[in-house]
């Protein structure tokens, strides 16, 4: 099981990262809104993650809003030279905490400028365009704006998030797609309906990602990890003296060398537990048993 992978391996600016990152969404308050309940612990989680080898952190300016970006800057700036910060644009939040598209070229530019300001960067290494369903702004227009800002130097690499196979195929025809971020876990592999819309699954695009050497970054990888009916994952956890959550992460790491899990948590203890999954070696028998 490779310990690292390279984002945009054939580009002029490849980024090599350790294969267990950290997603910051859970650092906010309830419903991904407002400040964390325990701000000192949130800051310590970020610092500890980096101390323990995490060099890929996923964020978005609509987490909070702006909460996770400000926490990252407070905890980690000036940033280590090998740290890759990945953000997302294409959505925003309303005061009622709903999630809505924010994806016209003007909106996307506003979001990028805001991310640069709140993170304290001159260039963001990786930005995912999150798709919010089939709205009035064509994908070609959205990606065109992203690639324009890439040419301006505001973005190093462009990725896609929440994409169907068809949308990824379209994106690949329009330009270089560095990464894909979709919902994916042992228990949730295909499209799922959430309150703010459909979330395409990772299984639907994994082979295409592998074919094009595009890392697949699973989000919500622990959301559906622990249903009681998943006896198989519990049995493998017992074999390895691990938790079901750890086996879920280990399954992702073993499923493909192009998968980069980013399990999030607001608990320092759970952070350490999650990172321990990289030391679990699942055998071929384990993987076959899990299916």
Residues labelled as active-site residues: 63
Cα distance between residue 209 and residue 211, in whole Å: 5
Q: How far is CA 107 from the centre of its chain?
A: 21
CB-based burial, 3-14: b 16+ in 10 Å, e otherwise: eebebbeeeeee
Provide the token pair at 162: 């929440």
CA atoms within 13 A on the CB side of 35: 7
Cα distance between residue 182 and residue 204, in whole Å: 10
Q: What single DSSP character describes residue 77? A: P
For residue 264, what are the CA distances in angstroms to 44, 153, 279?
14, 29, 18
CA quadruple 105, 155, 183, 225: dihedral positive or negative? negative
Cis peptide before 65 (omega within 30 of 0): yes
Cα distance between residue 250 and residue 103, in whole Å: 35
Between the CA atoms of 253, 254, 259 and 265, what dihedral angle is there, to the nearest 10 degrees? -20
How many Cβ atoms from other residues are within 10 Å of residue 159's Cβ? Answer: 26
Helix 105-119 with 67-76: angle, nearest 10 deg: 30
Are 248 and 186 in contact by the 8 Å Cβ rule? The answer is yes
């Amino acid at each position: 099981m490779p310990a690292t992978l390279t984002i945009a391996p054939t580009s002029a600016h490849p980024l090599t990262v350790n294969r267990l990152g950290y997603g910051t969404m859970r650092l906010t308050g309830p419903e991904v809104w407002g400040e964390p309940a325990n701000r000192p612990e949130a800051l310590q989680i970020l610092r500890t993650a980096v101390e323990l080898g995490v060099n890929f952190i996923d964020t978005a300016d609509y987490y909070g809003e702006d909460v996770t970006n400000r926490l990252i800057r407070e905890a980690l700036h000036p940033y280590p030279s090998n740290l890759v910060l990945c953000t997302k644009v294409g959505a925003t939040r309303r005061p009622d905490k709903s999630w809505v598209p924010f994806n016209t070229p003007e909106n996307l530019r506003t979001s990028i400028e805001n991310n640069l300001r709140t993170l304290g960067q001159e260039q963001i290494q990786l930005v995912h365009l999150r798709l919010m369903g089939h709205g009035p702004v064509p994908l070609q227009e959205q990606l065109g704006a992203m690639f324009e800002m890439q040419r301006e130097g505001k973005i190093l690499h462009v990725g896609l998030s929440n994409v169907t196979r068809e949308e990824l195929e379209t994106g690949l025809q329009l330009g270089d797609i560095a990464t894909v971020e979709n919902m994916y876990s042992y228990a949730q592999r295909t499209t799922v309906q959430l309150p703010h819309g459909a979330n395409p699954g990772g299984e639907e695009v994994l082979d295409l990602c592998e074919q094009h050497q595009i890392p697949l970054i699973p989000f919500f990888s622990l959301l559906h990890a622990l249903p009681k009916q998943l006896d198989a994952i519990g049995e493998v956890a017992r074999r390895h003296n691990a938790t079901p959550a750890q086996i879920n992460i280990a399954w992702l790491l073993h499923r493909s060398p192009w998968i980069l899990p980013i399990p999030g948590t607001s608990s320092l203890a759970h952070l350490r537990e999650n990172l321990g999954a990289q030391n679990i070696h699942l055998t071929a028998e384990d993987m076959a048993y899990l299916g």
